[in-house]
Amino acid sequence: MIETKNFDENKDEAKEELERNNGENLEAKTDAEFKQAGNIDISEVQVEDISRSKIGYKDILKEKEFMKVVVGEIISRFGDSIDMIAYGWMVFQLTGSAALLAVLFAVNGIPSLIFSMISGVVVTYMEKKKVVYICDFGRGITVLLTAVLYITGNIAVWHLFVFTFINSTFEAFRAPASGPLFTQLISKEKYDYALSASSTARTFAELIGFSVAGALIGTIGIGAVIVIDAITFFASGLITMTLKLEKEMLSKTKLTIGKYFSELKGGFLYVYKSKLILSICLFAGGFNLFIIPFNALQPAYVKQILNRGPEAMSILAVSFMFAMLIGGIIAPIIKAKVSGKKMFILGGFLIGIGYFMFSQLGAVNESKYILLYIIPPSVIMGIAVPFFSLPVRSALMSKIEPEYLPRAIAMINALALSTIPVGGALVGALVLLVPLKDIFVIFSVAILLLFISQIFNKSLREL
Give pLDDT, residue 164.
87
Q: Per-residue pLDDT for 157 more than 50?
A: yes
B/e letters for 16-33, b = 16+ CB within 10 Å, e = fewer, are eeeeeeeeeeeeeeeeee
pLDDT at 256: 65
pLDDT of residue 188: 75
394 exposed, middle or buried (CB, 10 Å; 0-12, 13-18, 19+)?
A: buried
Is residue 47 pLDDT above 50, yes or no?
no
Looking at per-residue pLDDT, the higher value among 18 and 462 belongs to: 462
Is 152 a residue whose pLDDT tops 50? Answer: yes
pLDDT in tens, 266-306: 777 877 777 888 888 888 888 888 998 988 888 888 888 88
DSSP string covering 308-320, please? --HHHHHHHHHHH
**What is the tens place of the pLDDT at every residue in 52-104?**
456 777 888 888 888 888 888 888 888 888 887 788 778 877 877 777 778 88
Least confident of 78-87, 118-127, 292-301, 384-393: 118-127
pLDDT tens figures, 90-107: 887 787 777 777 888 788
User: What local confidence, expressed as pLDDT, does residue 250 receive?
Assistant: 59
The alpha carbon torsion through 69, 71, 75, 80 (nearest 10 deg) reads 50
Structural domain spans, the chain: 62-245+254-462
Rounded-to-integer distance, Cα 196 and Cα 23, Å: 51
Class (C level, CATH) for 62-245+254-462 = mainly alpha
The amino acid present at 354, given as its one-letter code, is G
Residue 14: predicted pLDDT: 46
- Contacts of residue 395, defined as CB under 8 A and 6 or more positions apart, other chains included, come to 276, 340, 462, 463
Least-confidence region, from 30-39, 77-86, 100-109, 404-413: 30-39
pLDDT digits 0-9 by tens, 323-361: 988 888 888 888 888 888 888 899 989 999 999 999 999
Residue type, 281: C
pTM of the entire predicted model:
0.63
Mean pLDDT of all residues in 234-262:
76
Is 439's pLDDT higher than 70? Answer: yes
Interaxial angle between packed helices 405-417 and 419-430, expressed in degrees from 0 to 180 and rounded to the nearest 10: 20
Given this model, what pLDDT does residue 33 score? Answer: 38
